[in-house]
Structure 1
Amino acid sequence: MDPRILDRLRCPVCGEPLAPATDTRALRCPRRHSFDIARQGYVNLLTGRAPHVGDTPDMVAARADFQAAGHYDVISSALAAAATDAVGRLAGAPLESTPAAAQQPGFGAYPLVVDAGAGTGRYLGAVLAALPDAVGLALDVSKPALRRAARAHPRAAAALADTWQRLPLADASTAVLLNVFAPRNGPEFHRVLHPAGTLLVVTPDTDHLAELVDTLDLLRVDPDKADRVAASLGGHFTPVSSAVHRAGLALTRPEVATVVGMGPSAWHTDAAALTTRLAALPEPVRVTVAVRLDVLRPR
């Protein structure tokens, strides 16, 4: 693992720094807590049994295919632009804002971008491509996702971690934290972000994939989604800006099946009924991508 990323990791059991073990393929803290590095490249920093296993191999494969086709590049571009602005702002901020921030090795030289609930790592890779001096860490509870995220970018690493629990990172260690269609742990996001750092949250807007909802009987976006996001983070973060990013897609029926299979509707949709409904769709299928990007900073 890149030592610039390893510097920021902490043992999820005791909070001590981690270092490569000399006798096995693992990371170990001074108290001898040991965490295996999988042959696919990610490190297992999960303690105990996770309450869920995250996305399945089929869901991860569907997401990887859909993203590789460029259909969600509007999200990647928006995140890359916002992260570039955030790191530029951080470069002018005093690193001595808190004792924890002052202790971060080389913080200004190589800002850390963390993607909490990273999935395949596609968005983290896009952000790192826009930030040549940054390093990145993908966190997810899905092993199939992390196998891909570990290869998302040469300056990225990946770790198995439950983002509902304490994150395996030092206090004030992170410059930019990405949260894309994933759970939000406000207290932990606040703890690991530098006082001048930035949280970027992407959620579906009300008309996201709206053309498919009724036709295919998919889950609807909660109309109170924005309020719930604000409530979950409001005690720890101050909103800076919010913008909706949209794109129009022309999809084939197999691509529509892919976008259904990669999202939450995959858990609730009857496969046979979906196949029947898909067959009735005229091609190309016109679909709207509509996501909200909220930019927040620690209070």
Structure 2
Amino acid sequence: MLACANGHRFDTNRRGFASLIVGSRKLIGDSPAMLDARDTFLERGWYAELRTALGALVAAESPVRVVDIGCGTGYYLRGVLASTTAASVDSLAPGTSPASQGVVSPGVRALAMDLSAAAVARTVRSGLADDDTSTQGLVADVWSPLPIRDGAADVLINVFAPRNPAEFHRVLAPGGLLAVVVPHPSHLQELRAAGLAVDVHGNKTQDLIESLASGFTLESVEDLSRVLQLSPDDVTALIGMGPSSHHAPPPASSPSPSGPLTSTDVTVAFRLLAFRRTGD
């Protein structure tokens, strides 16, 4: 059971997470169908380069408490926790064992938060909790005050998810890291040209930097880009896992004028930004 100073109490449900959503909701989180598509696409390794880069960025912080705002299926959080655990083991002096240095269980604690109860349930049961980590789930709205105490997180990760700058600043410890991933303007450009994916806001990065300027300092920007050769099933999963699923039919539903569908070149491009929390 979770409780606050005002007397509110919330029970952890049978699926292993707590929901702190109260009242009516105008926004709806990812559906199980979208999460299925995301699992299908991501587990094929198409975004592995992004997960590796994010994991390396977070591991360099040696965090104890990580919060994933917009956890989805838990794909990126799993990568982050694996990287932090590996970094702890690699830091051992030569000839010493992990047990002798107390790093068999590095003590990294993670909170997976999303508006979608289906997403949080999937993340919690996806094998995040093991001998080396402790991961809890929370259903909450990022646009509302976050049910997380002041300075509770060493690192916040935010991958293709909404942001609440004031609340991010409050829940991060002084000097904490905010790692944000946004799509690069060239992301899915072939699918957007074909009308199968929604447009990317061209000034998204600058808007992000300006929105965080009052409480964060930008430390680094890393661009990652690849051209993938995707099968029709891959393209269908890619479109179905994100906001484009609400705007376009799956590509496989439309016959190809030149015959059976074959592989398609698709640009995937991301921008990974690291912000340092400023102020007390």
Length-normalised TM-score, structure 1: 0.79
1:147 maps to amino acid: A
Deviations 1:169-211 (A, max 9, x none): 1111101100000011000000011112100000000111112
The corresponding residue for 1:76 is: 51
The corresponding residue for 1:259 is: 238
CA pair 277-55 structure 1, distance change in 2 beyond 3 A: farther
Q: Is the 8 A contact 2:188 2:197 kept in 1?
A: no
Alignment of 1:124-273 (within 5 A): 124-132=77-85, 133=106, 134-152=108-126, 153-154=128-129, 155-270=134-249
Alignment of 1:28-43 (within 5 A): 28-29=3-4, 31-43=6-18
- CA distance in 2 between counterparts of 1:277 and 1:195 reads 55
Structure 1 position 29, deviation (Å): 3.8
- CA distance in 1 between counterparts of 2:124 and 2:47 reads 20
1:268 maps to amino acid: H
The corresponding residue for 2:20 is: 45
Aligned length: 251
1:39 maps to amino acid: R
CA pair 278-216 structure 1, distance change in 2 beyond 3 A: farther
Structure 1 position 217, deviation (Å): 3.5
Structure 1 position 117, deviation (Å): 0.9
The corresponding residue for 2:98 is: none
Structure 1 position 57, deviation (Å): 1.3
- CA distance in 1 between counterparts of 2:273 and 2:5 reads 39
With 214-223 and 183-192 compared, the bigger mean Cα shift is at 214-223
Matched, 1:114 2:67: yes
- CA distance in 2 between counterparts of 1:258 and 1:270 reads 11
Deviations 1:62-84 (A, max 9, x none): 11111111111112101100001
The corresponding residue for 2:254 is: 276
- CA distance in 1 between counterparts of 2:59 and 2:83 reads 7
Structure 1 position 147, deviation (Å): 1.4
Identity across aligned pairs (percent)? 37
1:250 maps to amino acid: Q
1:232 maps to amino acid: S
Q: Is the 8 A contact 1:253 1:279 kept in 2?
A: no
- CA distance in 2 between counterparts of 1:198 and 1:150 reads 23
Q: Is the 8 A contact 1:135 1:156 kept in 2?
A: yes
CA pair 279-180 structure 1, distance change in 2 beyond 3 A: farther
2:26 maps to amino acid: P
- CA distance in 2 between counterparts of 1:51 and 1:164 reads 11
- CA distance in 1 between counterparts of 2:199 and 2:255 reads 17
CA pair 230-277 structure 1, distance change in 2 beyond 3 A: farther
Q: Is the 8 A contact 2:19 2:117 kept in 1?
A: no
Length-normalised TM-score, structure 2: 0.84
Alignment of 1:2-17 (within 5 A): none
